[in-house]
Amino acid sequence: MAGTTEGPAGDGPPRGFRSAELGWPELHRIPRPPHRLPLLGDVLGARGSTPVQDTLRYARQLGPIFRRRAFGKEFVFVWGAGLVADLADEARFAKHVGLGVANLRPVAGDGLFTAYNHEPNWQLAHDVLAPGFSREAMAGYHRTMLDVAQRLTARWDRAQAAGRAVDVPGDMTRLTLETIARTGFGHDFGSFERSRPHPFVTAMVGTLSYAQRLNTVPAPLAPWLLRRASRRNAADIACLDRTVDDLIRARRTAPGQGDLLDRMLETAHPVTGERLSPENVRRQVITFLVAGHETTSGALSFALHHLSRQPEVAARARAEIDRVWGDTAEPAYEQVARLRYVRRVLDETLRLWPTAPAFAREAREDTVLAGAHPMRRGAWALVLTPMLHRDPQVWGPDAERFDPGRFDAAAVRSRPPHTFKPFGTGARACIGRQFALHEATLVLGLLLRRYELRPDPGYRLRVTERLTLMPEGLRLHLDRRTAGVTPPPLEPAARDGGSAPRCPVRGTGD
């Protein structure tokens, strides 16, 4: 089971996983499910494939702070706005690397997302890479984002001409993987020329799914229950490592592109002069390739689902796009930020379906949460972001309804702070937030300007979980809009192309 964000012995919070009864002196005051089974805990009605959605059901029943027990370990969950605002206090609380995140450390080690707070490479990498997400850098990425988006629209044009529905999650994954790979690392995975996902994507999905499964079985039994899955996970990790090592090796022979990879390889810390080690460079590249596309693809997929179901929202967004972009074939960087309503659509999507659905916080010292719940140093809680974003005291009795108007400027100003947290909180919040928002706003603008979206009438939203959230089986039919700009030329028909894989084909099974 996951560890805590602790330093060496005597320096920082206690070491190792801490069940809640060790850190919450008055745990008995926190509600729990009524039907607790000996040894197993609160598992009635739970499914191993949907732990987040199961926990959301408990949250609705038990209130803004509650606890669950599974296989001898107790967890505290929080979603009430006042409680989360207190946990966001950086002076008293810090990021906690726990649950599924710590299970990713064999993949990403001390990368930006999975590093413990005491590990020096986190701050080093953050300081070295932060300029890569400045406004100047973002403007430089815009051209590549457009190029990748045009590969997507060429694919969708072919599907529309053939009368085929498009696989939204699959194509959004292709888009966002190519975008982060090309902008950050100068690499083309050839995702749009493949009939099947690139082996890197298959391996990535495998490692994320395995990390989640580790949380659903008793730790002592995992070597037996997940024996085959563990072997596949080792092969998946090896695939990710080989892919990234090839990418880095190629760059060392041709440096000077000025992207994130050059920064990792060539830039020293501005104060200390330290550089990232070769091993940490690999971990950071994997972190960016995985986190930089997995969450954004989910956000775009959920947004397109809602837009297809609410034509009045889509029509208002298109009107804004037509007004702001006019007949320009390729919108400029500055024109994307002017799509304020499209951005509200994206924010409302992230409110209902934050694709990274939780973040954990731990007490730096003994404290009392919101004046009511004592916590010892090292005690931690998991913030359920989808429930925080549905707190009726903040979002109203219709919090389940999709309404981009919630993010009008006046509405945003009227809400208390720390009530909208799709990118985490504090010093360890997502470094690539502005990158993801610019990419997603640009893509939504391009797609809405080009297509009318028709949903499958029989489809009901299903959500698949692999630490992140993604719509399952979402397919849309497309109609080309009669107004608009001349499309770019079509690309060649899809084929199995791109970079030659160095990963074995994964089988199926447990």
Residue 5 designated active-site:
no
Which strands make up the sheet holding 166-167, listed edge to edge?
Answer: 166-167, 475-480, 451-455
pLDDT at 30: 98
Query: Phi and psi (nearest 5°) for 362?
Result: -130, 155
Residue 239 designated active-site:
no
Catalytic residue among 423, 425, 435, 468: 423
Contact 55/68 with Cβ under 8 angstroms? yes
* Of 110, 234, 300, nearest in space to 506 by CA: 234
Which tokens belong to 349?
Answer: 């999507």
Buried-exposed string 11-24: b where 16+ CB fall within 10 A, e elsewhere: ebbbeebbebeebb
Contact 116/377 with Cβ under 8 angstroms? no
Helix, strand and coil content of the chain, in percent to the nearest 5, comes to 50, 10, 40
Which tokens belong to 436?
Answer: 């993801």
pLDDT at 215: 78
Which tokens belong to 237?
Answer: 């990790």
Tell me: pLDDT of 169 over 50: yes
Tell me how far apart the alpha carbons of residues 486 and 412 are, in angstroms, rounded to a whole number: 37
pLDDT (average), residues 294-304: 96
pLDDT (average), residues 284-289: 94
DSSP label of 41: B
pLDDT at 506: 59
- Give the other-Cβ count within 10 Å of 287's Cβ: 23
Contact 144/251 with Cβ under 8 angstroms? no
Tell me: pLDDT of 196 over 90: no
pLDDT at 14: 61
Contact 177/74 with Cβ under 8 angstroms? no
Which tens digit of pLDDT belongs to each residue from 11-24?
555 656 788 999 99
pLDDT at 225: 87
In Å, how far are 124, 175, 350 from 179, measured between CA atoms? 25, 6, 20
Which tokens belong to 10?
Answer: 């005597």
| Rounded-to-10 torsion of CA 261, 263, 267, 270 | -150
DSSP label of 68: E
Tell me how far apart the alpha carbons of residues 283 and 286 are, in angstroms, rounded to a whole number: 5
Tell me: pLDDT of 485 over 80: no
Name the strand (E) or helix (H) holding 380.
strand 380-384
The crossing angle, in degrees rounded to 10, of helices 311-325 and 340-352 is 140
Tell me: pLDDT of 120 over 60: yes
Percent of the chain exceeding pLDDT 90 equals 76
Which tokens belong to 298?
Answer: 């989910």
In Å, how far are 38, 62, 148, 241, 347 from 30, measured between CA atoms? 19, 9, 49, 43, 32
Catalytic residue among 295, 296, 355, 425: 295
Which tokens belong to 323?
Answer: 């007004």
Which tokens belong to 81?
Answer: 């706005």
Residue 189 designated active-site:
no
Catalytic residue among 430, 435, 441, 468: 430
pLDDT at 12: 58
Buried-exposed string 463-498: b where 16+ CB fall within 10 A, e elsewhere: bbbbbbbbbeebebbbeeeeebeeeeeeeeeeeeeb
